[in-house]
């Protein structure tokens, strides 16, 4: 099926924080999609073809679909839980809620709701933590496959410091992960992430078996948490007294590489930053979560200067919005408190090509380059009265993008395409 999608197209081919001409913008542009992929992009006048069906999104903006590099699928009913910082929040709200995913039928129901929410917020790919129960990952992969979404996900492995109902054992965590990898990794657009929740909830024996999984499946991603909260760091170091620092635990078990996504990475030692840069391990900035849980202020410029690649993510349900626009809004404010600036070009690069680069998937998603998968978001910069009023004073594309970045949310998502198919209304 070949179709032409008309609108103002914007796609990045470099990082605007590093080079000047980082994007291509067509004021009256079009994307031609064919069999789920982008076949061509350019000016409407040069691409128009009376033989093609046309969808006209003018005056809206067409960008690559947003990518969220850290989110917890079993926390759709944890988001907006009051009054706690990380460890109390996990024990009070999160672990009890994740234990519900043992119940028959719960995970498939939540998976549909989760994907509906992602698409209504313009997000076409996520890297997701599932619960400890393998059926939570099964349900999410099945639901994503039915919508032909590109998704990276894994069941968490956790064998201590949580209620029995959300624990596995080193052997069970290994066996369940292995089976899920064999079933789902590389099937269609799906990939598996080996997922030790964090060092607090894994014994050294489980970390050892995690390292074995990583050696046996070097093309899987690995996702975990690092240095989110001061009490978390102190507890972690007490559990691994030999470790030089928090990152050293993950290094000891052979987890560091450019496949490793380290959620939060806030309170880092210079040695940890240097090792992340040397090994290519990714930091993942989770602004709404870091503010909501009072965790701390991510040092984007410091990590960049050290050569660390960073993704940006919602971290729902510690995060408070599914919207990557709202994530950029809060990210902007955190960097203000750090004396750093998040320019709208850099921001929109980050949630598209930047996150795709962090995942090593920029050849497939994150741009509008021909040959990429046709995952698109269509943005309405006048979606609300406040946005429309402010837009009347906007003179440049950068200003328009900044209005979306600060005032935008799911109301600004006019359409979301997955593999060339419109997914909303």
Residues that bind Zn ion (CB under 5 A): 263, 315
Q: How many residues bind ligand GUN (CB under 6 A)?
A: 11
User: Taking the complex as a whole, how short is the minimal distance between the CB of residue 290 and ligand GUN, in angstroms?
Assistant: 9
Q: What are phi and psi of 322, to 5 degrees?
A: -80, -10
Total Cβ atoms within 10 A of residue 411: 14
Return the residues of window 272-301 that contact ligand GUN according to CB under 6 A: 289
Nearest approach, Cβ of residue 155 and ligand GUN (Å): 13
Q: Does 94 bind ligand GUN (CB under 6 A)?
A: yes
Residue 22 or 117 with smaller CB distance to Zn ion: 117
**Would you give the distance in Å from CA 108 to the centre of its chain?**
21
Q: Of Zn ion, ligand GUN, none, which one sits near residue 197, judging by CB under 5 to 8 A according to partner kind?
A: ligand GUN
Cα–Cα distance between 119 and 68 in angstroms, integer?
11
Residue 228 binds ligand GUN, judged by CB under 6 A: yes
Q: How far is the CB of 192 from ligand GUN (least distance, A)?
A: 19
Contact stretch for ligand GUN (CB under 6 A) within 86-94, 246-254, 296-304, 353-361: 86-94
CB of residue 177 vs ligand GUN: minimum separation in angstroms?
17
Show the tokens assigned to 19. 């080079």
Distances (CA, A) of 26 to 95, 353, 368: 47, 18, 12
Q: Which of 57, 60, 72, 275 contacts ligand GUN by CB under 6 A?
A: 72
**Binds ligand GUN by CB under 6 A, chosen from 68, 168, 315, 409:** 315
* Residue (38 or 313) nearer to ligand GUN, CB: 313
Residue 98, beta-bridge partner list: none
**By CB under 6 A, is residue 68 in contact with ligand GUN?**
no
8 A C-beta contact, residue 26 and residue 8: yes
What HEC string does 22-89 produce? CEEEEEEEEEEEECCEEEEEEEHHHHCCCCCCEEEEEEEEEEECEEEEEEEHHHCCCCCCCCCCHHHH
Would you say 11 or 94 has its CB closer to ligand GUN? Answer: 94
């Amino acid at each position: 099926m070949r179709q032409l999608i008309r609108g103002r197209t914007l796609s990045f081919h470099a990082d605007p924080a590093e080079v000047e001409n980082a994007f291509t913008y067509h004021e009256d542009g079009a994307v031609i999609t064919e069999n789920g992929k982008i076949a061509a992009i350019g000016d409407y006048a040069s691409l128009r073809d009376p033989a093609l069906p046309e969808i006209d999104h003018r005056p809206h903006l067409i960008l690559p679909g947003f990518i969220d590099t850290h989110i917890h699928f079993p926390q759709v009913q944890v988001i907006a839980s009051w009054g706690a910082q990380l460890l109390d929040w996990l024990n009070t709200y999160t672990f009890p809620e994740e234990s519900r995913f043992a119940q028959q039928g719960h995970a498939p129901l939540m998976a549909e709701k989760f994907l509906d929410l992602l698409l209504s917020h313009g997000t076409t790919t996520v890297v997701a933590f599932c619960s400890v129960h393998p059926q939570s990952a099964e349900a999410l992969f099945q639901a994503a496959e039915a919508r032909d979404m590109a998704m990276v996900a894994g069941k968490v492995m956790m064998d201590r410091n949580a209620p029995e109902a959300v624990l596995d054992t080193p052997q069970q965590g290994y066996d369940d992960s292995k089976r899920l990898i064999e079933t789902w990794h590389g099937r269609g657009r799906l990939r598996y992430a080996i997922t030790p929740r964090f060092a607090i909830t894994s014994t050294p024996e489980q970390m050892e078996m995690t390292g074995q999984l990583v050696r046996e499946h070097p093309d899987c991603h690995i996702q975990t948490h690092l240095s989110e909260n001061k009490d978390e760091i102190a507890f972690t170091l007490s559990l691994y007294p030999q470790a030089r620092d928090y990152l050293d635990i993950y290094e000891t078990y052979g987890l560091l590489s450019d496949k490793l996504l380290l959620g939060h990475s806030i309170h880092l030692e210079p040695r940890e930053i240097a090792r992340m840069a040397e090994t290519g391990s990714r930091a993942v900035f989770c602004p709404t979560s870091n503010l909501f849980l009072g965790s701390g202020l991510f040092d984007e410029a410091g990590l960049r200067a050290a050569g660390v690649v960073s993704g940006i993510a919602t971290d729902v349900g510690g995060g408070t919005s599914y919207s990557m626009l709202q994530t950029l809004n809060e990210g902007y404010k955190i960097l203000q408190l750090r004396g750093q600036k998040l320019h709208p070009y850099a921001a929109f690069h980050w949630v598209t090509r930047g996150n795709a680069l962090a995942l090593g998937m920029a050849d497939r998603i994150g741009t509008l380059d021909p040959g990429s998968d046709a995952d698109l978001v269509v943005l309405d910069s006048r979606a609300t009265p406040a946005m429309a009023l402010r837009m009347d004073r906007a003179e440049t594309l950068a200003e328009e993008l900044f209005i979306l970045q600060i005032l935008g949310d799911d109301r600004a998502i006019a359409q979301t395409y997955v593999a060339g198919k419109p997914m909303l209304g």
